[in-house]
């Protein structure tokens, strides 16, 4: 019943429903042990007991069950944030220790026979155990309870460790993106200083060619200068210097591989979006796209990146050529996992559209706008 309630009424996952069922059953076993000495004191062998005493005992057992279940729920909700953590990946770990604790409790469970005669208003409980065994059952319930909370505590520490590892991986990626940006900025600053230093010389050469009437040579020289100046600018102007540097690095690699690049990205200003979070999204998505394009015929390689801002929704669309025969997936699991984490951070989502010709990932981020327009 517990499984069906959690699964279909509360609409939780199968794993969470299974763990909940085991916990409820285990709590019932623990309460049975906690109330064992009390049962022995109220009901003695072969003695008729007032039915009201029996009702009080059953009510007390139910109350203890509710208190323990409530405490377990309070402890779990306080220690584990289900909305933040992806529990389904880890919850199965709890099933084994819970089953072991249940087996431990079952091995010390004793049987009793209850005969209820409501017409006489009495309850007759036939006990086949001594007070020592009842106290032993009580102590085993204490041990079982300690084991339950120890399992939950260990489970919490394990999840914390896994989440910390994931955060460290994201942080390392952020640091790597920052280093790339710094190196790119240094390189462009050096090129700009060098170009400015030689600018007067370039003007003198063009002026000399024009004076000699060598117009074609002057035009050719100006075309070369134009190429130099275009190399100094970013390949995609997003209005965000950090993303510009990232795109210049990634899209340069794409162009070297013969991938046709179409970039229409504008990063809105004055929002709650962190530059490093955007770097993680774009870096992983573009890396995955480049990886997918590598195994596509050169004449068919393309990469399209676009963004759209509507109200408080920032949408990113990345589409690339794709060959399902040579591609197991467009990108690594870690890369997609990092993108999902960022989307979750901004209460957003991702969707993937894959055909025999292209792979497309759509990323939706819910952002807070602090000024109108972009």
- The tens digit of pLDDT for each residue in 28-85 reads 777 777 766 666 665 554 445 555 666 666 677 677 667 766 676 666 656 555 444 4
- Predicted local distance difference test score (pLDDT) of residue 114: 44
Q: Which is nearest to 247 in space by CA: 216, 279, 202, 271?
A: 279
364 pLDDT above the threshold of 70? yes
- pTM more than 0.75: no
Determine the pLDDT at residue 253: 87
Over range 116-129, report the average pLDDT.
47
> Which DSSP string do the residues of 5-44 spell out, in sequence order?
IIIIIS---HHHHHHHHHHHHHHHHHHHHHTHHHHHHHS-
CATH 3.30.565.10 segments of the chain: 235-374
**Per-residue confidence (pLDDT) for residue 184, from 0 to 100:** 67
Nearest to residue 127, comparing CAs of 37, 25, 34?
Answer: 37
Using DSSP bridges, classify how beta strands 122-127 and 48-50 pair: parallel, antiparallel or unpaired.
antiparallel
At 318, give phi and psi (nearest 5°): -125, 120
Mean of the pLDDT values across residues 243-253?
85
pLDDT tens, residue by residue, 264-280: 999 998 788 888 889 88
Contact present, 247 and 263 (Cβ < 8 Å): yes
Considering the chain, what is the average pLDDT of its residues? Answer: 75
Q: What pLDDT score was predicted for residue 235?
A: 65
- The Cα–Cα gap between 47 and 44 comes to 6
Report strand pairing: 302-310 vs 313-321. Answer: antiparallel
Per-residue pLDDT at 351: 94
Yes or no: is domain 235-374 CATH 3.30.565.10?
A: yes
SS3 content of the chain, % helix, strand, coil (to 5): 65, 15, 25
**Residues 98, 64: Cα–Cα separation, whole Å:** 20
Strand 112-117 to strand 260-264: parallel, antiparallel, or no bridges (unpaired)?
unpaired
């Amino acid at each position: 019943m517990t499984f069906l309630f959690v699964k279909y009424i509360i609409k939780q996952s199968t794993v969470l429903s299974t763990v909940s069922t085991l916990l409820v059953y285990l709590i019932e076993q623990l309460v049975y042990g906690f109330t064992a000495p009390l049962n022995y004191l109220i009901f003695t062998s072969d003695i008729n007991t007032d039915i009201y005493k029996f009702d009080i005992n059953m009510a007390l057992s139910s109350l203890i069950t509710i208190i323990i279940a409530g405490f377990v729920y309070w402890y779990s909700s306080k220690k584990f944030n289900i909305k933040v953590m992806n529990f389904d990946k880890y919850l199965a770990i709890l099933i084994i220790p819970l089953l072991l604790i249940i087996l431990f409790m079952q091995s010390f469970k004793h049987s009793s026979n209850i005969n209820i005669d409501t017409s006489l208003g009495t309850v007759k409980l036939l006990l086949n155990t001594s007070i020592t065994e009842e106290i032993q059952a009580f102590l085993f319930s204490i041990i079982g309870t300690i084991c339950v909370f120890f399992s939950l505590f260990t489970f919490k520490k394990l999840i914390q460790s896994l989440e910390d590892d994931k955060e460290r991986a994201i942080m390392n990626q952020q640091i790597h993106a920052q280093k790339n940006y710094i190196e790119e900025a240094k390189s462009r600053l050096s090129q700009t200083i060098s170009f400015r230093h030689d600018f007067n010389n370039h003007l003198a050469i063009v002026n000399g060619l024009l004076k000699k009437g060598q117009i074609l040579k002057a035009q050719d020289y100006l075309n070369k200068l134009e190429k130099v100046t275009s190399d100094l600018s970013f390949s995609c102007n997003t209005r965000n210097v950090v993303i510009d540097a990232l795109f210049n690095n990634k899209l340069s690699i794409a162009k070297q591989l013969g991938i046709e690049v179409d970039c229409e990205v504008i990063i809105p200003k004055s929002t709650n979006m962190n530059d490093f979070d955007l770097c993680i999204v774009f870096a992983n998505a573009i890396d995955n796209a480049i990886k997918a394009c590598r195994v596509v015929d050169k004449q068919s390689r393309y990469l399209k990146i676009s963004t759209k801002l509507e109200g408080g929704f920032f949408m990113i669309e990345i589409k690339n050529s794709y060959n399902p025969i040579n591609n197991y997936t467009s990108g690594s699991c870690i890369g997609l996992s990092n993108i999902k984490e960022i989307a979750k951070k901004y209460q957003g989502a991702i969707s993937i559209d894959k055909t025999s010709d292209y792979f497309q990932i759509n990323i939706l981020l819910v952002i807070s706008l602090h000024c109108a327009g972009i």
